[in-house]
Structure 1
Amino acid sequence: MTNPVPTPPSADGDATLLFCLPYAGGSSLAFRSWTDELPGYEVVTSDYPGHLLRPGERLVRSMDRMVGLLCGELVDRWDRPFVLLGSSMGALVAFELARRAEAVGRPPAAVVLLSCAAPSLLPLLPPVAGLGDEAFLAAFAARYGGPVHHLLDDPASRDLLLPIVRADMELFEDYARSCPAPVGCDLIVIAGADDPVVTPDSARAWEDFSKGRVDSLTVPGGHFVVESNTAEVTAALRPLLDRRLPAA
């Protein structure tokens, strides 16, 4: 049985839940400071099967299976107001989780999409998952850089991380070939001003993927603003969440 890795719960049992999903190759540690930055919200972080904090589990290479597993872990907590948030690949997972939540009659108040282009623009990124190890590492580093790239440069962690990152990229690239329909809930889209992969325009294209309201923001930082610019991201995000959840 798989389980999400939760942060300590809020003292207020009625606090809005904020479910957070990491980027490709990442872990729940990407959100380690979010609880302090968003008082009044209960931040619940998840790790993907087979990743560093869930060793021994089978890696997941398809969005449908990933979302099915995570939905099974989280659905029992969707009985009070909640928001789904994801960074990069995690944004796509959050978007598809919102679709599952709507299908079971428990829609989120909003989905927050960090550092992720709209699905219609994902095919513009050349596929890399099928490359040999050295070419894959070089392509991943050139595209994203960031904390995962630095770990992959370390020989001690490379053998452990390489299969994880490759599996995530297989999932990402398989999903990029799909054409998802819009969800009904609101979207909040946040891009880093210096992100080499996701431009503000490619983030704003998410407007075509919601029947609700879509807010698009640009904050200082690169692709990994979820960790490098937590204060700026949460400060920009807070009023948009509170607008949808006035009791939070």
Structure 2
Amino acid sequence: MRRPALSLYRPLEGARARIVAFPHAGGGASAFRGLKAALAPLAIELCALQPPGRENRLSEPFHRTAEAAAEEFAEAVLSLPACPTAFLGHSLGGLLAYLTAQRLEGTRALPIHLVASASRSPALPRNVHLLRDDDDLTQHLADLGGLPEIIRAEPSLLEMFETIIRADLNMGETHNPRIDTALTCPISVYSGESDRLVPPSSASAWQSLSRQPLRTRRFPGGHFFLYEAPALVAEALDSDLGWSRASDPLLKERETASPSRIRVSSHAHS
């Protein structure tokens, strides 16, 4: 029987690699449908994890802690068929991807790469959205581009959304970082150039969480750039993740022939 977190997962026939995606606070697996479609022609499968309390898991209770979410997600990843796999976590999803990878150290399911997208490093103090009242939080999310107008205009949908995001914020912002060892897999940080919530300047704080040099990219857009420009993100993922160079001898030729609009930097920290 398929794990609940994989309830919307559909394998891609002929995939050469897989990305396991962790959604943002208030979001569900369907948030990645644009990126999934952009990755498919590259023969990269996207497996978006579905947290409880939303979409097709609406009746299930929310995770109370980030650790509980990571435990469920680690078990789900372990149940997937063998395939070169990377993790991609957007916003709160970056924390959950990191905690899940921690639990998979020493197993066959450890990702070959972790990509934190618009995500504050778990090594930094968390934001304090929980101090906002409902109207203030709603306006804040709308300003960030994370609240569809169709939800804001319908009181019953807005109430449901506020319940979901409050639970996710509680899970993420009450998390007490406990960083015993850095991950053995490399970490890349993707940032929106105009992201006011997680500015590109904060990316370097992820370096302490990996034994490998940190890689960073900046994309046009704000906090939700990943959903707004899935083709650009798919291009970056195909280029950055280690399987591309191992399995695609034409990669360098493609990169030379197709200049990217994405700003890239790579640096190591002592």
Normalized against structure 1, the TM-score is what?
Answer: 0.87
Mapping 1:39-54, distance limit 5 Å = 39-54=42-57
**Kept in 1: contact 2:35–2:227 (CA 8 A):** no
Task: Write the letter of the residue equivalent to 2:29.
Answer: S
**How far apart are the structure 2 equivalents of 1:153 and 1:205?**
38
Task: Write the letter of the residue equivalent to 2:84.
Answer: P
Which residue of 2 is the match for residue 12 of structure 1?
A: 14
Q: 1:18, CA displacement in angstroms? A: 0.9
For residues 18-67 of structure 1, what are the alpha-carbon distances to aligned partners after superposition, in whole Å with 9 as ceiling and x for unaligned? Answer: 11111000111211122332221111111101112311101112011111
Query: Is the partner of 1:120 in helix, strand or coil?
Result: coil
Which residue of 1 is the match for residue 70 of structure 2?
A: 67
Task: Write the letter of the residue equivalent to 2:11.
Answer: P
May I ask how many residue pairs the two structures share in their alignment? 243
The gaps in structure 1 that reach 5 residues or longer are none
**How far apart are the structure 2 equivalents of 1:3 and 1:23?**
15
For residues 91-111 of structure 1, what are the alpha-carbon distances to aligned partners after superposition, in whole Å with 9 as ceiling and x for unaligned? Answer: 111111111111435321001
Distance change (3 Å), C-alpha of 1:62 and 1:45: same
Distance change (3 Å), C-alpha of 1:245 and 1:55: farther
Q: 1:159, CA displacement in angstroms? A: 2.0
Which residue of 2 is the match for residue 23 of structure 1?
A: 24
**How far apart are the structure 2 equivalents of 1:66 and 1:31?**
19
**Kept in 2: contact 1:118–1:206 (CA 8 A):** yes
User: Identity across aligned pairs (percent)?
Assistant: 25
Counterpart pick for 1:98 among 91, 97, 101: 101
**How far apart are the structure 2 equivalents of 1:11 and 1:156?**
39
Task: Write the letter of the residue equivalent to 1:189.
Answer: V
Which residue of 2 is the match for residue 178 of structure 1?
A: 177
Q: 1:229, CA displacement in angstroms? A: 1.4
Runs of 4+ in 1 over 6 A off after TM superposition: none
Distance change (3 Å), C-alpha of 1:87 and 1:44: same
- Asked whether 1:107 is paired with 2:84, we answer no
Query: Is the partner of 2:218 in helix, strand or coil?
Result: strand
Mapping 1:94-173, distance limit 5 Å = 94-123=97-126, 125=127, 127-129=128-130, 131-141=132-142, 144-147=144-147, 151-173=151-173
Query: Is the partner of 1:239 in helix, strand or coil?
Result: helix
Q: 1:244, CA displacement in angstroms? A: 6.1
**How far apart are the structure 2 equivalents of 1:115 and 1:221?**
11
Which residue of 1 is the match for residue 87 of structure 2?
A: 84
Query: Is the partner of 1:233 in helix, strand or coil?
Result: helix
Distance change (3 Å), C-alpha of 1:73 and 1:240: same
For residues 190-227 of structure 1, what are the alpha-carbon distances to aligned partners after superposition, in whole Å with 9 as ceiling and x for unaligned? Answer: 00001111111102221121012321111111101121
Q: 1:150, CA displacement in angstroms? A: 6.3
- Asked whether 1:222 is paired with 2:222, we answer yes
Task: Write the letter of the residue equivalent to 1:48.
Answer: P
**How far apart are the structure 2 equivalents of 1:26 and 1:197?**
17
**Kept in 1: contact 2:238–2:244 (CA 8 A):** no
**Kept in 2: contact 1:5–1:28 (CA 8 A):** no
**Kept in 1: contact 2:20–2:88 (CA 8 A):** yes
Which residue of 1 is the match for residue 36 of structure 2?
A: 35
The gaps in structure 2 that reach 5 residues or longer are 249-270
Task: Write the letter of the residue equivalent to 2:6.
Answer: P
**Kept in 1: contact 2:19–2:44 (CA 8 A):** yes
**Kept in 2: contact 1:84–1:94 (CA 8 A):** yes
**Kept in 1: contact 2:9–2:49 (CA 8 A):** no
Distance change (3 Å), C-alpha of 1:130 and 1:53: farther
